[in-house]
Chain A
Amino acid sequence: MIEVNDVHKSFGDAHILKGISTCFDKGKTNLIIGQSGSGKTVFLKCLLGLFTPEQGSISYDKKNYGELSRDQQRDLRQEMGMVFQGSALFDSMSVEGNVMFPLEMFTKQSRSEMQDRVNIVLKRVNLVDAHHKFPSEISGGMQKRVAIARAIVMNPKYLFCDEPNSGLDPKTAILIDNLIQEITREFDITTVINTHDMNSVMEIGEKIIFLKNGLKEWEGTNKEIFKTDNEAVTSFVYSSELFKKVRQMYIEERN
C-alpha cells in the first residue's frame, strides 16, 4: 500500500502539485487520470522518488520515503518496477539482457538461475521467441511486454506504469491492460497506472484518481465513474460521443 499525504511540487514559479492526498491499495490496479498538464507525470515521478516533493509525505507500507537515507531509498526502489511510456529499454542489450539486468545487478543468482527466471517472466508476458532480439528489432507492443517483464522480474511490491497503452493499437492495448491486471492480482502488488486511455479506465480501473490543475478532483472506481456528477470528471471521461452514449445507456439501464 502507498499512502500519499499532502504532496506539493513546484518547478520555479510553476506550482504543479498543490497538496495531493490519497492511498493506493495493494492487489489493485490504481489509475491516475487527468488532462495533459494536470500533474499526472510529476505525481508519478514523485511516487517513484525521481522528484522530491517540497511538502508532504509518501509512505510505502508505512516506510516514509522522505525519512529514509539515500541508500535506503535506493534499496526501496529495488522493490519497485516501472514501465515507462516509451518502454525505456536499454538499446545496447537484447530482450534477454534487458530482463536479466536487474537480476545481474542485485542478486547473487547463478547464470542458469537467472536464465530460468527470465524464461518464466518472458513466458508470462507471452514473449517466447524474442530472447536474442534487440529493442529496435521488435514492435511497440512487444517492447511494452519486455518492459513489463523487466519490471516484474525482481518480484516487485510496487508496479508503476506511465501510459502503458500509448502508441499501441486498441487490441494490443487491451492485451497490455489485461496483462498488467493479471500480474497485479497474481503477485498481489500495488500497481499505479498513469493513463489517458478511457478503455483502461473502464476495464481495469479498480481505483481511479482524477487530477485537475495539480489537485485531486475525484476518487472512485470504474463503477462509480459512471454515476458521478462531478462535472470535471464527466467532461473529461465522457468527452467523446461514444462514451457519452455508453454513460447514457448505463444510466437508463439503472433507472
Chain B
Amino acid sequence: MNYLAAIGSYFIMIREVFKKPTKWSIMKSLILKEIDELIFGSLGIIIFISFFIGGVVTIQTALNLNSPLIPRSLIGFAARQSVILEFAPTFCSIIMAGKVGSYITSSIGTMRVTEQIDALEVMGVNSLNYLVFPKIIALLFYPFAIAIAMNVGIFGGWVAGAFGGFTSSAEFVEGLQMDFIPFHVTYSFIKSLVFAFVIATIPSFHGYYMKGGALEVGKASTTSFVWTSVVIIILNYILTQLLLG
C-alpha cells in the first residue's frame, strides 16, 4: 500500500513540476547551471568507464571466439553492438543513478531539512518547478553524453583489441562496419532519454519528500539509488521488447 501511495505521489509531483513556471530569466541560468553540474560534471566518469568497458567486452569476446571458422572481425561487431545497445545507455545510466541521483537527492534533501524548500513555498515559488524542472531539461542533453560513451567505448575496444593482440585493426574496423543498423543508435538514444527522465525525477522525489535530519538525507540517497536502478532495469526490458522485439 505504501508503494502504491509513493507511486501516486511521484506522478502528482511530476504534474506539479510543470505547473506555474519560474520566470524564464531565472530558469535559464538554473538550467545552464544544472547542465554544467549534471552533464559536464559527469563526462569524466562516463568516458573513463566507457573506455574500459569497451576494452573488456572486446577482450572477453576475443577469448571466447576459439573456432577458426568464426572470423575475427566479429570481435569488432560484438564490441559495437554491446556498447551501442547496452553498455553505453544502460550501464552508464546505472552509474549516473549513483553519481547524479545521489547528488540530486542529497542536495534537495538538505534543502528540505534546512527549511529552504519551505522558504521557497512561503515566498510563493513553485518549489518543484524551481528545483526539478531545470534538472529534467538539463538531462535532455544526456543522450549527447551517451553518444560520447558509445564512441569512447568502441575506441576502448579497438585499443584493447588491436594493441592487445586479439585482432588486427583492419579486422576490428571491418567488424564495426558489418551489418550496421542505424535504428540501433536511435533505440539507444530513446532509452537514454527515458533513463534521463528517471534519473532526474526519482532522486528528486526522494529528496523532496524526505523527512528527518542529516541521517535521513543519507538514507534517502541510498533508497533513491536503489529505486532509480530498479526502474531503469525494468524500463530497459520494456523498451527493448517494444523497440526491438
Co-complex (A, B): yes
Interface residues of A (CB under 8 A from B): 45, 48-50, 71, 74-78, 80, 82, 84-86, 88-91, 101-102, 104-106, 160
Does the CB pair A74–B114 fall under 8 Å?
no
Tell me, in angstroms, the Cα distance from A74 to B16 when the chains sit together: 13
Take A71-B20, A105-B22, A105-B23 as given contacts and tell me if A77 and B124 are in contact as well, using a CB distance cutoff of 8 Å.
yes
**10 A-B residue pairs with CB within 8 Å:** A50-B118, A74-B125, A77-B121, A80-B122, A82-B119, A90-B119, A91-B114, A105-B23, A105-B123, A160-B122
**Chain B, Cβ-Cβ closest to A74:** B124
Tell me, in angstroms, the Cα distance from A187 to B23 when the chains sit together: 28
Instruction: Known A-B contacts: A80-B122, A84-B119, A104-B26. Give 10 more (CB < 8 A).
Output: A50-B121, A50-B122, A74-B126, A76-B124, A77-B121, A78-B123, A84-B118, A88-B118, A90-B116, A91-B114
Tell me, in angstroms, the Cα distance from A84 to B122 when the chains sit together: 10
Instruction: List the A side residues contacting B22 at CB < 8 Å.
Output: 105
Does the CB pair B124–A88 fall under 8 Å?
no
Does the CB pair B114–A77 fall under 8 Å?
no
Does the CB pair B124–A106 fall under 8 Å?
yes
Does the CB pair A77–B123 fall under 8 Å?
yes
**Chain B, Cβ-Cβ closest to A80:** B122
Residue picked from B116, B119, B121, B125, most chain A C-beta under 10 Å: B119
Instruction: List the A side residues contacting B121 at CB < 8 Å.
Output: 49-50, 77
Check: B115 CB closer than 8 A to any chain A CB: yes
Does the CB pair B123–A88 fall under 8 Å?
no
**Chain B, Cβ-Cβ closest to A84:** B115
Does the CB pair A86–B114 fall under 8 Å?
yes
Tell me, in angstroms, the Cα distance from A90 to B114 when the chains sit together: 9
Tell me, in angstroms, the Cα distance from A75 to B126 when the chains sit together: 11
**Chain A, Cβ-Cβ closest to B122:** A82
Tell me, in angstroms, the Cα distance from A90 to B115 when the chains sit together: 10
Instruction: List the B side residues contacting A89 at CB < 8 Å.
Output: 116
Partner of B114, one of A75, A88, A101: A88
Tell me, in angstroms, the Cα distance from A45 to B121 when the chains sit together: 11
Instruction: List the A side residues contacting B23 at CB < 8 Å.
Output: 104-105
Instruction: List the B side residues contacting A91 at CB < 8 Å.
Output: 110, 114, 116
Take A71-B20, A74-B20 as given contacts and tell me if A105 and B125 are in contact as well, using a CB distance cutoff of 8 Å.
yes
Interface residues of B (CB under 8 A from A): 20, 22-23, 25-26, 110, 114-116, 118-119, 121-126
**Chain B, Cβ-Cβ closest to A154:** B123
Instruction: List the B side residues contacting A78 at CB < 8 Å.
Output: 123-124
Tell me, in angstroms, the Cα distance from A160 to B116 when the chains sit together: 15
Q: Give the distance to chain A from B233, nearest Cβ to Cβ, in Å.
A: 33
Instruction: List the A side residues contacting B114 at CB < 8 Å.
Output: 86, 88, 91
Instruction: List the B side residues contacting A49 at CB < 8 Å.
Output: 121-122
Partner of B122, one of A71, A77, A86, A90: A77
Take A71-B20, A74-B20 as given contacts and tell me if A102 and B123 are in contact as well, using a CB distance cutoff of 8 Å.
yes
Does the CB pair A105–B26 fall under 8 Å?
yes
Q: Give the distance to chain B from A248, nearest Cβ to Cβ, in Å.
A: 40
Q: Give the distance to chain B from A165, nearest Cβ to Cβ, in Å.
A: 16
**Chain A, Cβ-Cβ closest to B22:** A105
**Chain A, Cβ-Cβ closest to B116:** A88
Q: Give the distance to chain A from B110, nearest Cβ to Cβ, in Å.
A: 8
Take A105-B22, A105-B23, A105-B26 as given contacts and tell me if A48 and B122 are in contact as well, using a CB distance cutoff of 8 Å.
yes
Tell me, in angstroms, the Cα distance from A196 to B118 when the chains sit together: 21
Q: Give the distance to chain B from A118, nearest Cβ to Cβ, in Å.
A: 15
Tell me, in angstroms, the Cα distance from A74 to B122 when the chains sit together: 8
**Chain A, Cβ-Cβ closest to B25:** A104
Q: Give the distance to chain B from A66, nearest Cβ to Cβ, in Å.
A: 17
Instruction: List the A side residues contacting B124 at CB < 8 Å.
Output: 74-78, 106
Does the CB pair A88–B119 fall under 8 Å?
yes
**Chain B, Cβ-Cβ closest to A147:** B119
Instruction: List the B side residues contacting A80 at CB < 8 Å.
Output: 122-123
Instruction: List the B side residues contacting A102 at CB < 8 Å.
Output: 123
**Chain B, Cβ-Cβ closest to A45:** B118
Instruction: List the A side residues contacting B26 at CB < 8 Å.
Output: 104-105
Tell me, in angstroms, the Cα distance from A102 to B124 when the chains sit together: 9
Tell me, in angstroms, the Cα distance from A91 to B114 when the chains sit together: 10
